[in-house]
Amino acid sequence: MLVSEREQLRENIEQWVAQYGSDRSALIPVLQEVQRKYHHISEYVMQVVADTLNIHPVEVYGVVSFYSFIGLRPKGRFIIRLCRTISCAMQGNNRIARQLENDLGIHFGETTPDGNFTLEWANCLGMCDRGPAMLVNDRIFTQVTPESVHEILDECRKAFGAHTFQGEETCPL
Amino acid sequence: MAEFYDKESVRAPMSQRLQRFEPPSDTQAIGALVSVTIDGKELKVPLGTTILEASKKVGVRIPTLCYHEDLCVAGVCRICVVEVEGQPRLQASCAYPITAPIKVKTHTRQVRQARRHILDLLLSKHYGECYACFRNNNCELQALAKEYGVDFFRFGHPEKPRYRIDRSSPSVIRDMDKCILCRRCVRTCIDLQEVGVLEVNQRSNRSKVITFGEKPLGDVICINCGQCINRCPTGALRANDPTDDVWAAIDDPTKHVVIQTAPSPRAGIGECFGLEPGVPLTFEMNTALRRCGFDKVFDTNFSADLTIIEEGTELLQRLHKALVQKDKMVRFPQFTSCSPGWVKFCEHFYPEFLDHLSSAKSPQQMFGAVIKTYYAKLNDLDPKNIVTVALMPCSAKKFECNRPEMCDSGYKDIDYGLTTRELAQMISEAGIYLPAMPKSDFDDPFGTATGSGVIFGATGGVMEAALRTVIELVCGIQVEDLFAHADITPVRGFDGIRFMELPIKKVGPVPELLKGLFEDWDWLVGATLKVAVAHGTANAKRVMEDIKAGGPCSECHFIEFMACPGGCLGGGGQPIPTSPEIRAARARAIYAEDAAYEVRKSHENPAIVRLYTEFLTEGPCSHLSHHLLHTAYTPRGKYIV
Ligand code: SF4
Ligand code: SF4
Ligand code: SF4
Ligand code: FES
Ligand code: FES
């Protein structure tokens, strides 16, 4: 990472800390901001965050590894999370899963080589009455069908370049 | 002295402290006491007392695993569950503050079954064989399995390890297959020591105690204090044990194996042989060591005295530079450097303060350098055939003796660092029951020690020893004139941070030893020497932050730091378990030994006087002593790449 990028990163973090407060209760909102902007939390980020919040880096690491929506490793710019809990399972989420794997050419837990899509399982998204449910970054899609998977993916592909997803930026890490 | 810190907050950070139930000091203010009935026994306790604490008062035993007296409450293991009348579920007694009258039952059928289940579940993930484990017979999990009559594995038992043992650290080995996730080590490292190496990651059955980025322990900011080892209920954490190598050296006829024994292990080793804490076995241990096959048994107190002379001289030199030569580059306060845990803490977290650390090596390393030079010459031995072993209460000493710069004698100054526990193991391997040994003295030429060396083992001891020497060398008076029995009590005790001021009203002549360095002491008249003492790195951190902020600590001239709570007597190599009472008992043993010595001041130690006349002829802080007895530090920083 370039020095200037590091400085930029540190500046961003300091700004978020100023916004959310400088004690440990600001940890999750700050991490969410980093995740939104950089799509993952690097070791460097964790140490800077710990420093600014006056806690230990290992505590930040513990929190980051606890939550599935905050990631240690770089992920695709679109993270697709398909619900695997029982209601969605009964409403045919396996067909959606197969469709996604087919269209993207990757398995669950993987990222496309171009770094655009990551496929993951999620637990109940609270949309059980309208399953199968699926999240793309922070947008929820319900009653997904194999056909609508196409459309959703197309929409994502079209969104490249245009900043549809707020705060999004290429990840410098 | 100004109260820049409030006593209550002297340790835990806020987040952790919220989980601790301090019984209110003023029970009147919030009304009366609450009454509680435990197994039919009624008593009254202050509001907020936990069921566990209350049951101790009436002599009812409740088993615990995650609870530890030194740490904040976690309530994660649930082995301490009890039945509270009127509540549908069992309650964890360690985490249940009593706020209203309750009736508690501690061993109903439901409670017994729940505890047994918890044990069965713990064992279903616990890979390890007790007879091949260093905690055999000293393991809380094993003891509970016996207590609750575990005679088969209800939920199975792992047959293969799940994790690799982390042997990367020269001091602490982590075997996560034996970990029961009680998080005592986490609370020790984060809350008690405030170093912040260990945490639990992930969720549910994937949880594991990890370091930052799951890196090997040797690559992170661990200061090797070993406090986590002393508080782990199982064999998941242990010190790096060199006893096999030590035995091999003993069995090798070409090797001359010498051991130096530090003050604290003697006050603790009895605990490994079933004695009450606080029974010193100094002279029994000497005999046992000879029977084990060590060629010479020396007393680290000798080099503790040497440290005092070198470190004290350095302090006087700094003062001289600042007061007389008006040198702006001199750094105050000077920090002690005998605790390798503290030194590494400073290197990681306060690298900009390394100039403040005394350049004097720790007693362990000074002794090594002296043995492989002076002693070798005296006895016509080839230093390459000398094996130096150090018995220490400390796991960080293992790291210290492996520091690459610690080879000033031309060889590795100290070959092996042994902990109290490891030596107890060697002694029992030799078929010796230590308490029954006849007594014998240390070997010459370093035999005679002083009381000042002994008290190095307790927090405040280094400061007291230094003050005894500085007062006499500078003021030309007896310490006894100022303090009854030369006991400088203001620096003793277990308060996290302690201060003392010593006005220098009149001075004496410069003693022979320091003639080469100072002409007179007149420049010190009217000065007030300010000193402070801190133990445990959490308190060290308070002091350092205060210095940065320009508070009262920044006005001190000399500060003693010990990485371990209680000083060396609470070191990471001492017998397990540890608690405030055990540490207090060990401290009593150490101060009793000090009082029993005839010579109690470092500069009066005849062996020291001899060393400076025969070997270090240019005196303290001279060229040769700088080469052998002083060192430099490495700014490490806390960022891990
Ligand atoms: S940790 Fe305890 S229970 Fe486990 S193998 Fe060692 S002695 Fe046995
Ligand atoms: S040895 Fe000390 S610093 Fe290292 S992990 Fe254990 S408690 Fe933390
Ligand atoms: S390593 Fe020891 S102290 Fe730490 S969580 Fe595991 S069993 Fe508990
Ligand atoms: S089960 Fe899928 S949203 Fe609830
Ligand atoms: S000892 Fe009470 S929950 Fe662990």
The contacts of residue B444 (CB under 8 Å, 6+ apart) are none
Q: Per-residue confidence at B291, pLDDT binned at 50, 70, 90?
A: very high
Is the predicted ipTM greater than 0.95, yes or no?
A: no
Q: Express as a percent the part of chain B with pLDDT over 70.
A: 95
Q: Is residue B581 part of a domain?
A: no
Å between B192 CA and nearest CA of chain A: 13
CATH (domain of B48): 3.10.20.740
What is the predicted pLDDT for the residue at B8? Answer: 41
Q: Write down which residue in B239, B266, B286 finishes a domain.
A: B239
Q: Are residues B145 and B194 in the same domain?
A: yes
The structure tokens listed for A144 are 């997904």
Q: Are residues B404 and B377 in the same domain?
A: yes
Average pLDDT of the residues in B433-462? 86
Taking an 8 Å cut-off on Cβ atoms, the answer to whether B15 and A24 are in contact is yes
Nearest to A61 among B195, B199, B203 (CB): B199
Average pLDDT of chain B to the nearest whole number: 91
Average pLDDT of the residues in B423-440? 96
CA–CA gap between residue B446 and residue B248 (Å, rounded): 25
CA–CA gap between residue B449 and residue B440 (Å, rounded): 14
Show which of residues 207-266 on chain B sit within 8 Å of chain A, judged by CB atoms. Answer: 210-213
Q: Are residues B274 and B186 in the same domain?
A: no
Q: Are residues B223 and B274 in the same domain?
A: no
CATH (domain of B191): 3.30.70.20
Q: Is the per-residue pLDDT at B4 higher than 60?
A: no
Q: Is residue B328 part of a domain?
A: no
Q: Per-residue confidence at B1, pLDDT binned at 50, 70, 90?
A: very low
Q: Write down which residue in B403, B419, B436 finishes a domain.
A: B436
Q: Are residues B284 and B228 in the same domain?
A: no
Q: Are residues B269 and B407 in the same domain?
A: yes
Q: Per-residue confidence at B5, pLDDT binned at 50, 70, 90?
A: very low
Specify whether B314 is catalytic: yes
Q: Is residue B481 part of a domain?
A: no
Judged by average pLDDT, the poorest of B33-47, B387-401, B584-598 is B584-598
Q: Are residues B92 and B134 in the same domain?
A: no
Å between B187 CA and nearest CA of chain A: 11
Average pLDDT of the residues in B371-386? 95
Q: Are residues B231 and B175 in the same domain?
A: yes
Q: Are residues B376 and B232 in the same domain?
A: no
Q: Are residues B287 and B207 in the same domain?
A: no
In tens, the pLDDT along B65-96 reads 999 999 888 899 999 999 999 999 999 999 99
What is the predicted pLDDT for the residue at B27? Answer: 57
What is the predicted pLDDT for the residue at B228? Answer: 97
Q: Is the per-residue pLDDT at A10 higher than 90?
A: yes
Measured between beta carbons, which residues in chain B are less than 8 angstroms from residue A66? 201-203
Q: Per-residue confidence at A37, pLDDT binned at 50, 70, 90?
A: confident
Domain ranges of chain A: 3-66, 78-162
Q: Is residue B255 part of a domain?
A: yes
B391 φ/ψ angles, rounded to the nearest 5 degrees: -90, 115
Q: Are residues B420 and B296 in the same domain?
A: yes
CA–CA gap between residue B291 and residue B512 (Å, rounded): 41
Q: Is the per-residue pLDDT at A169 higher than 60?
A: no
Q: Is the per-residue pLDDT at A94 higher than 70?
A: yes
DSSP B328: T
The structure tokens listed for B163 are 């994790």
Q: Going by CA atoms, what residue is nearest to atom 2 of ligand 2?
A: B225
Q: Write down which residue in B419, B436, B453 finishes a domain.
A: B436
Q: Is residue B381 part of a domain?
A: yes
Cα dist from A160 to A116, A168, B140, B382, whole Å: 9, 11, 58, 75
Q: Is residue B637 part of a domain?
A: no
Q: Is residue B423 part of a domain?
A: yes
CATH 3.40.30.10 fits A78-162, yes or no: yes
A64 φ/ψ angles, rounded to the nearest 5 degrees: -60, -40
Average pLDDT of the residues in A43-67? 94
One-letter amino acid of B377: K
Q: Are B339 and B536 in contact (CB under 8 A)?
A: no
Q: Is the per-residue pLDDT at B497 higher than 50?
A: yes
Measured between beta carbons, which residues in chain A are less than 8 angstroms from residue B195? 56
Closest ligand to B55 CA? 5
CATH (domain of B386): 3.40.50.1780
- B617 shares contact with chain A (CB less than 8 Å): no
DSSP B256: E
Q: Per-residue confidence at B445, pLDDT binned at 50, 70, 90?
A: confident
The label of the residue with tokens 């009348």 reads B85
What is the predicted pLDDT for the residue at B16? Answer: 47
Average pLDDT of the residues in B456-479? 90
What is the predicted pLDDT for the residue at A173? Answer: 36
One-letter amino acid of B151: D
In chain B, the largest separation of any two C-alpha atoms, in whole Å, equals 80
Shortest CA distance from B195: residue in chain A: A56
Q: Per-residue confidence at B481, pLDDT binned at 50, 70, 90?
A: confident
Pocket mutation for ligand 2, best pick of B166, B187, B188 (most atoms within 8 Å of C-beta): B188
Domain count within chain B? 3
CA–CA gap between residue B569 and residue B575 (Å, rounded): 10
CA–CA gap between residue A89 and residue B195 (Å, rounded): 46
Pocket mutation for ligand 1, best pick of B65, B79, B119, B130 (most atoms within 8 Å of C-beta): B130
Q: Which carries the bigger pLDDT value, residue B454 or residue A34?
A: A34
Q: Which carries the bigger pLDDT value, residue B18 or residue B529?
A: B529
Q: Is the per-residue pLDDT at A77 higher than 90?
A: no
- By residue range, what is the domain housing residue B33? 14-107
Closest CA to B302 of B445, B144, B117: B445
DSSP per residue, A51-109: HHHTS-HHHHHHHHHH-TTS-SS---SEEEEEE-SHHHHHTTHHHHHHHHHHHHT--TT
Q: Is the per-residue pLDDT at B10 higher than 60?
A: no
Q: Is the per-residue pLDDT at B176 higher than 50?
A: yes
Q: Are residues B261 and B175 in the same domain?
A: no
